Amino acid sequence: MALTTEEVRKIASLARLRFSPDEEAAIAGQLGKIVDYIDQLQRFEAGPAGAAATGAAALPPLSPVPPAPPIAPRAAPEADDLALPCLPRETFLANAPAALDGFLLVPEVKAGHVPVAKPGVDDEPPS
């Protein structure tokens, strides 16, 4: 599947990444090749029918072995509803690029070019 430069720009915008025109062209080619490879997934049918179709059912029988428990994703246990100490504010802020009076500091939210994008102020790359 070939990706257009427009599509690359759209994905980049969702990911908050900016690319030069040369990079856009390179990424379109690379992602297209990877997506072509990933498209082999479409051949797979999920479930027992799919497994049979791909040959899983044709193994020679063995003498009985103890049944193995199914391998399944586990549900995460619920944590106790307790307030526990977390990272002290000053320790956390020691890694902040900028902080003031115990808070993270960022430039003005509406400074510079603000595109009139639909969901939020930062959905289009700033000019």
Partner 1 sequence: MSRHPDLWGLPAEELARRVRGREVSAAEALESALERTARVEPLIHAYLELFEEAARARARDIDRRVAAGEDPGPLAGVPVALKDNLNLAGHRLTCASRILEGYVAPYTATAVQSLLDAGAVIVGRANMDEFAMGSSCENSAYQKTRNPWDVGTVPGGSSGGPAAAVAAGSAALGFGSDTGGSVRQPAALCGVVGVKPTYGRVSRYGLVAFASSTDQIGPIARGVRDAALATQVIAGPDARDSTCVERPVGDLLATIEDGIAGMRVGVVREIAMALSSPAAPVATAAATSPTELGAAAELDPAGEVAASFRAALAALEQAGAELVPVSIPSLEAAIAVYYVIATSEASANLARFDGVRYGRRSPGAASLAEVYWDSRSEGFGAEVKRRIMLGTFALSSGYYEAYYGKACAVLAQMRDEFTAALGRADVVVTPTTPSAAFRLGEKLADPLAMYLSDTFTTPASLVGLPAVAVPSGFDGQGLPLSLQIMGRPFEEATVFRAARAFERQIGWQVAPRFRGAEVGAA
Per-residue contact track with partner 1, 58 to 77, x per CB under 8 A? xxx-x--x-xxxxxxxx-xx
Task: For residue 99, give both structure tokens.
Answer: 């902080």
Q: Which is nearer to partner 1, 21 or 77 (CB)?
A: 77
Q: Which of 97, 100, 101, 119 binds partner 1 (CB under 8 A)?
A: 97
92 within 8 A of 102, measured Cβ to Cβ: no
CA distance 30 to 8: 11
Backbone phi, psi, residue 49, to 5°: -60, -40
Q: How far apart are CA 124 and CA 29, in angstroms?
A: 23
Positions in the binding site for partner 1 (CB under 8 A): 8, 10-12, 14-19, 27, 30-31, 33-42, 44, 46-48, 50-51, 54-56, 58-60, 62, 65, 67-74, 76-77, 79, 87, 91-92, 94-98, 104, 106-114, 121-122, 125-126
